[in-house]
Structure 1
Amino acid sequence: MRSVRAGWWWAASAFMASGCTALLGLDKDYHPLDGAGGDTASGGADTSSGGAGADNGSGAGTVACTAGDARCSDNRLERCNDLGQWDAPEPCPADAPVCTGGACTTPPSCEGLPSTCGSGANESCCASALVPGGTFNRGNDPAYPATVGDFRLDRFEVTVGRFRRFVEAYPGSQPAADAGAHPRIEGSGWNPAWNGELPPDAAALRAAVMCAPDNPDMGTWTEEPGAQEHLPMNCVSWYVAFAFCAWDGGRFPTEAEWNYAAAGGDEQRQYPWSNPPESTTIDASYASYDCRESAAPGCTFQSDFGDIPPSGSRSPRGDGRWTQADLGGSMREWMLDGYGTYPAECVDCANLADTSNRVVRGGSSFGAPSYLLTSSRVSVAPSAPYYSLGMRCARTP
């Protein structure tokens, strides 16, 4: 098999892994592009806070600084020691995963937001857990190995309350060129050609996320803050979801990253919570799923419009290996990638070549149990704001 180096896009390869499912469109090939990219995402080098100049990428301890100064580099915090040198960068903690202005902070979507996520409704909705990188088989198929580097993946799906902060800042929260880029994948940031896919102002944005015209009663968004602030946000297009994550100091996960986290890396779990990994046990205590005309085994109908439970309400029983909640059920989640066949092998890769449809993963409260399998993937047009579709952000560790 031909190896694809870090920063390359996926190459055309063999047929997609067995067991994968497509709702829309046909399989499409991937195309390689040489070159490795730099970090243009939020959380890049910050030389505005103290210090005696930029590090120029040469590493910690090479440029004189003033003891006690701090700065951000690749979303990590660097401190100046008593010798006037920069110490090695430190990752920010899970509850303050964004480095900006020389400090680790809460993402802007959680500023002033109460802690209402998790089964006890007492956790920060912006908690972002570290996922140690490694190699695994996409779709649980050994024909399609992939390697990902360390990354953070938000513990919870983005809530209505978090999204409200984005709306309040809109349109100032629209992304600049290259915002939200994956630090190891060139060309993965915001493309200004997509600007026309975003609503022009806050009023248009609020209207766009109401699930209208087909399902206006299924949206979790409300015009005024109320009882649904801790529910996962739905009815967001791929473009709006990308813009949110970029504004919030994060980015979209690649399909390989998300699949790695859901499968528990080399454990190759059938469901995110499977223990042992080959277990196919599933019921309402693990996830919300199969909620349609009547209560099903995975459905408890906690809300007026079906079982869209509060973010993290099935935690910790339904958590993945690295504590991410609702990787199966609740909302399907947008991926960075366009939909297509897996390449034979790749390292830190994403399909950026053919993006007429984007990958979504994770199943939903309204889907069958088979969609919750870590091997399941579907294809959706990026402009589609479905009531079963939400988002989760990744971050540089």
Structure 2
Amino acid sequence: MQKSRSVVAMGMASCLVLGACTSIVGVDKPYHLDGDGGAGGDASGGGGGGGDAACTPDEARCLENRPQTCDEAGRWQDEAECPSEAPLCQGGSCTTPRSCEGLGAICGPRGDEGCCASLVVPGGTFDRGAAAPRLATVSDFRLDRFEVTVGRFRKFVSEYPAAWPAVGAGANPKIPGSGWRAAWDPELPVDRQALLSMLRCEDPYFSWTDEAGDNEILPVNCVSWYVAFAFCAWDGGRLPTAAERHYAAAGGDEERQYPWSGPHSAPEPDESYAVYGCGHDGSCELADLQQGGSRSPRGDGRWGHADLGGNVWEWVLDSFATDYPLECDDCTVITPGANHMIWGGGWRSEKTTLLTSAFEERPPKGKFAGAGFRCARAR
């Protein structure tokens, strides 16, 4: 990968899309996207809705990712929050995302964790600034513990192109208009064969195999931003915003220099913390890419997420931009035609890319052996 365009933590604004232009709005108050994208369907994965609606006893539904049941008085009652191993609420019940159905507990450093484990990131405010403070606030959300693996992606491939997202799918529930747009349909591979061709970029460094084998626990790479978005929407989630991804890596208000740092310490990277740096002497091999969580728990972030630094760079929702407000709430930037952002550094990258503030810009149509993704979900 090329040297980072910037390693400065950024504050971003929500983006109102008008044709090919981007307008920054709501910099003095909480705000949302309000454009031509449309928020689309229910982001809860179930029947969600207002908490005061009447109901029939024994009826069940989802309010975002929390089951609710109807009591004898016809009132909705919250049930226990969905656990990390079954983080998706559908039809009033907690379940594993479809990409992990039948996959088994094969992820993590010992190969005994579910690959779809999704951990809660408590919301808050942190400083993404450099010389000047730039405060970003994010609401509670879930972020997958591991980067999306070849095994998980195989389920998506098996359903493609029926797995194409509907308009509005994959939206951040706090940002109306952030879901899939019909204008993006032409950017997806037209059929399964075209998708398989995409997954073979930068031979011999792609992790995909046409048949299930030893690579099932490796992060999938060679995936464009559009395909990453489509996968997360299909899987009942969404791409995290840049603010969310940065916040999780920085440990929120601890504002860590590296994901494994404490609030007052920043151990320098070495191979015991992260997977990085194989390419500097020209000796990179696919074997240098490691299974998700190979450096756990030593290299985990504050809330238990693996590989927030290293292994593969990760696509986020945001486009790359240069003008950002000093404060923002649940914010993102989406600019048609602009480059998008990847965060976290990768197996072929230098150690400065492991900084929690480090990102690079890439064309959303691009596919790179150094880049993959992980999904976010409603809490």
Q: TM-score, normalised by structure 2?
A: 0.88
Instruction: Pick closer, same or farther for the CA change 1:277–1:236 going to 2, 3 Å.
Output: farther
Verify: 1:254 aligned to 2:252, yes or no.
no
Partner residue of 1:359? 341
Partner residue of 2:17? none
Verify: 1:178 aligned to 2:168, yes or no.
yes
- Alpha-carbon separation, structure 1, partners of 2:41 and 2:304: 25
Determine which structure has the larger strand proportion and give its number. Answer: 2
The residue type paired with residue 349 of structure 1 is C
Deviation at 1:343, TM superposition (A): 2.1
Matches within 5 A, 1:366-385: 366-385=348-367
**Aligned partner of 1:32 among 21, 24, 35:** 24
**Aligned partner of 2:311 among 330, 338, 353:** 330
Paired residue total: 356
Instruction: Pick closer, same or farther for the CA change 1:31–1:19 going to 2, 3 Å.
Output: same
CA contact (8 A) 2:44 2:378 kept: no
Matches within 5 A, 1:1-397: 19-20=7-8, 31-33=23-25, 36=32, 40=40, 43-44=43-44, 46-47=46-47, 57=50, 59-60=51-52, 62-66=53-57, 68-88=58-78, 90-138=80-128, 143-211=133-201, 215-292=202-279, 294=281, 304-341=285-322, 342-353=324-335, 355-397=337-379
CA contact (8 A) 2:32 2:331 kept: no
**What stretches of structure 1 of length at least 5 have no aligned partner?**
1-16, 23-28, 48-54
The residue type paired with residue 392 of structure 1 is R
The residue type paired with residue 294 of structure 2 is S
The residue type paired with residue 161 of structure 2 is P
Instruction: Pick closer, same or farther for the CA change 1:354–1:198 going to 2, 3 Å.
Output: closer
Instruction: Pick closer, same or farther for the CA change 1:143–1:21 going to 2, 3 Å.
Output: closer
- Alpha-carbon separation, structure 1, partners of 2:159 and 2:236: 14
Deviation at 1:141, TM superposition (A): 6.0
Residue identity over aligned pairs, in percent, reads 49
CA contact (8 A) 2:43 2:170 kept: no
1:88-131 Cα deviation digits (max 9, x unpaired): 36531111111112211100000000211111111000000000
Deviation at 1:19, TM superposition (A): 4.1
Deviation at 1:278, TM superposition (A): 3.9
CA contact (8 A) 2:9 2:129 kept: no
- Alpha-carbon separation, structure 1, partners of 2:43 and 2:124: 23
Partner residue of 1:26? none
Secondary structure of the structure 1 residue equivalent to 2:67: strand
**What stretches of structure 2 of length at least 5 have no aligned partner?**
11-20
- 224-233 or 71-80, which deviates more: 71-80
- 251-260 or 275-284, which deviates more: 275-284
- Alpha-carbon separation, structure 2, partners of 1:180 and 1:41: 9
Q: TM-score, normalised by structure 1?
A: 0.84
- Alpha-carbon separation, structure 2, partners of 1:184 and 1:384: 28
Deviation at 1:32, TM superposition (A): 2.4
Secondary structure of the structure 2 residue equivalent to 1:165: helix
CA contact (8 A) 1:18 1:141 kept: no
Secondary structure of the structure 1 residue equivalent to 2:153: helix
